[in-house]
Structure 1
């Protein structure tokens, strides 16, 4: 959830740590801080608010040091105050710590340390860590021994990076929260995520739970907590550093909406055979799928809506499939057996609820597949196999291009499964379906170039609520559209299966409740009937449909999409509705890339 960056090398670390914080602010922006060490002491500067406020605070301060750690926070324990901002230090300020995750036994540790005379200055669970390290450091005078003894007492999830005033090194460890190493020519980085240091290196080491890393200006060692050497390979990431910047755009979100043509092209490339009558997603030996009888998708938030989309596609092929919210799946009594394929869908590969659901599936003996955007992520390593969506880095908190890339990748996976699972039957006229998916990038380009979403957003700007409805494949798109709208506008928005409108939600419809109806080319007459039930109660109906669709003449406004196969029409509607949300939020002056109370990667349960 929070963002960690550390830099060790020659020259001043300040600018590079601040750059890392800028790049990680999508992980949290309640407060930020930095600590620097130059061999003679540790200097700390931190404050509530965004990284820009930290920059203002340190401007004029002559902070210097070739070793630095930084943190941008999403609050869990304690409100976003100066005192609760990271880094946290021990009593005399000689040890500084940044932490991502939750220390579940922090209350017990805090009471024990208080009984030893320790005074605490914050409400955070993190502050127990530097004091615990200090306790062991006083007895052994060895920073690594003190660090490993301290983390052995922590329960919960964490990525921790520590700096001592009198050692030219940073010490890091992970357990259930991400931590990666960036390997530069004359410097090293430890961070929560690759974008933190992508300007400086594309060479990355992904750590496993239990790894302990010591990074010095001229080398890195990785061991277990017991000191056994560990070899983790250096990998190259294929993300362009420019992808993590806004360029000429005002917001990352708009950039990422408009980058969907290239993101989808990358998701589709190489996954349709030369004869255009089958797919090859290159996961699992087909023989291992022969005994699969059910597919369960587990995901959270936007990824859950993509999973809903995929389960609908898969059910069409005759294979029993269902999407579960990962947070509920861990507690569910639904059967999971060795003939179940569990597909974990997570953009970051670090979503705590999804990782917990994966543990349940693995314990039950299910086959486990991860669909993710991040190579080397925890979910990718925990699964039997992994399918990457290849969407490139997404910085905006509100997911856009990764939803469409997930939905397309999962739908192609569904066709692959239908070819190799005994009960499966490929969808009718598969070549036409595959032709249409390959035109999605150009179709989205057309939407971007011709959209009237900004004008429509302004027209309905002062509405009481916003409803989105759709049937079958239009239903998850309606839910995703509502989620996007509420995430960044802070306005009341709901997504429904269109047939459910009359079973309760219609009571909320007023003349100030526009209803956005998604027409995919299947069951459209029923969707229109449901929409008109709201229209007779005074609501405006906006048809999201191709030009010339029968619904256009019977509704109050129109967001056009190119004509395409019903399998993909909802994804084109989704782009128009993403743009609607963006322009509404922009008109309202909302913080689009950093919406209140939210963070990009939810690494705590």
Structure 2
């Protein structure tokens, strides 16, 4: 959620840190800061509430250095303020620390070790930097003091520490929170996300939980918890700087909505051969085929994609599928089947709630697959297998192309397993062809932006709340559509199973309440229309999104027909644009909704 950058060995540390923080803005934050120093021990600490632009205004020309760390903060302990912004300084001003994560035992640490310390803010990070000072004052070196602190701390963290008395080293450690070392020529960098430092290097070294790394301009040294040195090969980040630029688009979200046809075609290229046969690692197929139940573990948008995936997988493979929220499953694990297979869905591959489930399933020796956009991410590294989304970087907080990419990859996976099992439904399903059709239909829908914008102005301009309803996969789409609307436009939106309205929810319908009905399933279309009549008779302002074969003349949006198993890939697109235009028309920042972060790296 927060973002860390650091650099050692370059003259223009300030500029590089600011550029890195700007690349991490998509993750979400409420304050930011940098610390830089020079060989002559001239040092500067600059912090600001708000955006990186606000921080830049406070940086004067003399704020320069050859070593530095920077941070964007998403508040967990203490309200957003300049005092609570990172970097944090120890009482004796010797140590400077930035931190992502949450320290669970900060109160116990404060009581046991820091009774006589003064604190300027309310963060758990300030307690950690003073804990390091406490141990250093007993005669320990900085590295030993930090290592000792790590044995006391419980929780998630990514740390970057500078000792002002030794401006040749940055001390780095992590547990559950992502952090990478980037390798340069006579310089090295630190970052939460490779995108932050791609303009400096594309060679990165991963850090494992519990390791301590000393980063200097010409070398790095990784040590395990016992102090043993570890050599680890670097990897080359497969990202292009042009992929993370908006180009001519006003917002990343609009660009990413428009990316979706291209993403569908890229997925086809990656996972099918020249004759359209699905090509997926045979070990994955064998493991899933041998399982008696599939457990999909995810959060937020990925959780909604998991429900659509469940419908497709069960239809094509006849293997039962359960979909679970990561944050619930990890602490309330249900009785498992005898031979389960776990699929973890995550855009970033760094979702903390999902990772804590993966840690448990790994401990039980259960097979796992991560479906993610994040190559080299924690969930990818720690699962047995990975299928990449190949969607390109997703920057906007509101996920769009990752959702459709997850469904497409799960459909290809289901096809491969179904074919292996000899299921006729799967054999008859030409998924490569159908996804090609989907890509063309997506382009048709995207071309209707102005129509959708005008409809949004009519239905959502003054509303306080709204509802999406549907049945089956249309209900799953309704959940995701409502999430998109509420998270960026702040309209109180909910997605409901249409048949459940009369069991209590219809009490929320008032005169003029917008109700969006999604109709793509022939079996349930008439029932959903009946539910729409029920809410209309109670004053609802209905808005129908329907496939052409199921549409009526009075429907507001009519979508081209596609294969029944893949309708969510097209019915979700207008709802993404509805959320986009509702937010734009209300004057909010589409890409950076309040209180939210892109990569949720704390539980």
Q: Report Cα offsets for 1:187-242 as digits up to 9, x if no partner.
A: 32111111111222222222211222222112222221332121222111222112
Contact 1:103/1:125, CA 8 A, preserved across alignment = yes
CA shift, 1:28, in A, is: 3.0
Count of residues in Structure 1 that have an aligned counterpart in Structure 2: 597
Map of 1:403 onto structure 2: 403
What residue in structure 2 maps to residue 199 of structure 1? Answer: 199
Residue aligned with 2:503, SS:
coil
Residue deviations 1:85-131 (CA, integer Å, cap 9, x gap): 1000111322110000011111111123333x321111100112221
| 1:73–1:285 CA distance, 2 compared to 1 (3 A) | closer
Say if 1:5 and 1:192, in contact at 8 Å, map to a contact too.
Answer: yes
Q: Which residue of 1 aligns with 2:564?
A: 566
Whether 1:84 and 2:84 are equivalent positions in the alignment is yes
Which residue number corresponds to residue 72 of structure 2?
A: 72
Deviation sequence 1:248-286 (CA, Å, 0-9, x none): 22211111111112222222323234443x522226254
Question: Paired residue for 1:131?
Answer: 130
Deviating more after overlay: 507-516 vs 400-409: 507-516
Partner of residue 10, structure 1: 10
Q: State the partner residue of 1:583.
A: 581
Displacement after TM superposition at 1:6 (Å): 0.5
CA RMSD of aligned residues (A): 1.9
Distance in 1, Cα, partners of 2:265 & 2:583 = 28
Q: Would you say the 8 A contact 1:336–1:366 is kept in 2?
A: no
Deviates more, 1:192-201 or 1:524-533: 524-533
Check the 8 A contact 1:172/1:213 in 2, yes or no. yes
For residue 46 of structure 2, give the secondary structure of its aligned residue in structure 1.
strand
Deviates more, 1:141-150 or 1:191-200: 141-150
Tell me whether 119-128 or 238-247 shows the greater mean CA deviation: 238-247
Deviations 1:348-370 (CA, angstroms, capped at 9, x unpaired)? 11111111122333334322111
Structure 1 Cα separation of the partners of residues 421 and 104 of structure 2: 42
3-state DSSP of counterpart to 1:208: coil
Aligned pairs for 1:201-240 (under 5 A) are 201-240=201-240
Give, in whole Å, the separation in 2 of the partners of 1:584 and 1:186: 49
Aligned to 1:445: 443
Unaligned runs of 5+ in 2: none
Q: TM-score, normalised by structure 2?
A: 0.95
Structure-2 residue corresponding to 1:56: 57
Q: State the match for 2:602 in structure 1.
A: 604
Report if aligned partners of 1:519, 1:570 keep a CA contact under 8 Å in 2.
no
Determine the C-alpha separation between the residues in 1 that align with 2:233 and 2:532. Answer: 56
Partners of 1:55 and 1:210 in 2: CA distance: 34
Q: Distance in 1 between matches of 2:286 and 2:254?
A: 43
Paired residues for 1:295-444 under 5 Å: 295-317=294-316, 318-420=318-420, 426-427=425-426, 429-431=428-430, 433-444=431-442
Q: Higher mean Cα deviation, 497-506 or 298-307?
A: 497-506
Counterpart in the other structure of 2:150: 151
Query: What is residue 253 of structure 1 aligned with on the other side?
Result: 253
Q: Offset at 1:517?
A: 1.6
User: Where does 1:113-128 land on structure 2 (aligned, <5 Å)?
Assistant: 113-115=113-115, 117-128=116-127
Could you say what secondary structure the match of 1:553 adopts? coil
Question: How far did residue 41 of structure 1 move?
Answer: 4.6
Output the CA distance in 1 between the equivalents of 2:333 and 2:130.
42
- Please give the alpha-carbon distance, in whole angstroms, between the structure 1 residues aligned to 2:504 and 2:428: 38
Aligned to 2:44: 43
- CA–CA distance in structure 2, aligned partners of residues 472 and 65 of structure 1: 58
For residues 381 and 563 of structure 1, what CA distance do their matches in structure 2 show?
39
Q: CA deviation at 1:508?
A: 1.6
Q: Per the alignment, do residues 281 and 525 of structure 1 end up closer, same or farther by CA in structure 2, a change over 3 Å counting? A: farther
Structure 2 match to 1:504: 504
Structure 1, gaps ≥5 residues long: none
Deviations 1:447-471 (A, max 9, x none): 2223321111111211232111222
- Whether the aligned pair in 2 keeps the contact of 1:47 and 1:82 (CA below 8 Å) is yes
2:112 alignment counterpart: 112
**Distance across 2 between alignment mates of 1:427 and 1:527:** 28
**Distance verdict in 2 for CA 1:568–1:291, change over 3 Å:** closer
Q: Deviations over 1:456-513 (max 9, x none)?
A: 1111211232111222222211100000000001111111122222322222223322
| Cα shift readout 1:503-526 (whole Å, capped 9, x = no counterpart) | 222222233222222222432222
- Residue 6 of structure 2 contacts residue 190 of structure 2 at CA under 8 Å; is this kept in 1? yes
Q: CA deviation at 1:290?
A: 4.4
Equivalent pair of 2:289/2:417 in contact (CA under 8 Å)? no
Residue in structure 1 matched with residue 287 of structure 2 by the alignment: 288
1:593 Cα offset (Å) = 1.2
> Deviations 1:107-161 (Å, cap 9, x if unpaired)?
111123333x321111100112221222232344632222222222211110000
- 1:158-177 alignment to 2 at 5 Å? 158-167=157-166, 168-177=168-177
Matched-pair contact (CA < 8 Å) for 2:551–2:558: no
Structure 1 residues 182, 333: CA separation in 2 closer, same or farther (over 3 Å shift)?
closer
2:419 and 2:427 in contact (8 A); partners too: no
Aligned to 2:473: 473
* 8 Å contact from structure 1 (residues 5, 189) kept in 2: yes
Instruction: Return closer, same or farther for 1:84/1:463 CA change in 2, 3 Å cut-off.
Output: same
Distance 1:285 1:319 in 2: 15
- Does residue 525 of the first structure (1) align with residue 526 of the second (2)? yes
The verdict on how the C-alpha distance between 1:199 and 1:545 changes in structure 2, with shifts beyond 3 A counting, is farther
Secondary structure of the corresponding residue to residue 510 of structure 2? coil
Of 498-507 and 174-183, deviating more is: 498-507
2-structure distance, mates of 1:583, 1:283: 43
- Contact 2:308/2:568, CA 8 A, preserved across alignment: no
Q: Measure, in 1, the Cα distance between the counterparts of 2:63 and 2:26.
A: 25
1:573-603 CA deviation, whole Å, 9 max, x = no partner? 2111101100110110112211111111111
1:319-362, Cα deviation, whole Å (9 max, x unpaired) = 11111111111233522245101111111111111111223333
Measure, in 1, the Cα distance between the counterparts of 2:207 and 2:502: 51
Query: Is the contact made by 1:41 and 1:94 (CA closer than 8 Å) also made in structure 2?
Result: no
Give the 3 Å change call, closer, same or farther, for CA 62–560 of structure 1 in structure 2.
Answer: farther
Structure 2 CA distance for aligned equivalents of residues 466 and 145 of structure 1: 56
2:114–2:130 CA contact under 8 A, matched in 1: no
Query: Matches of 1:121 and 1:478 in 2, distance apart?
Result: 46
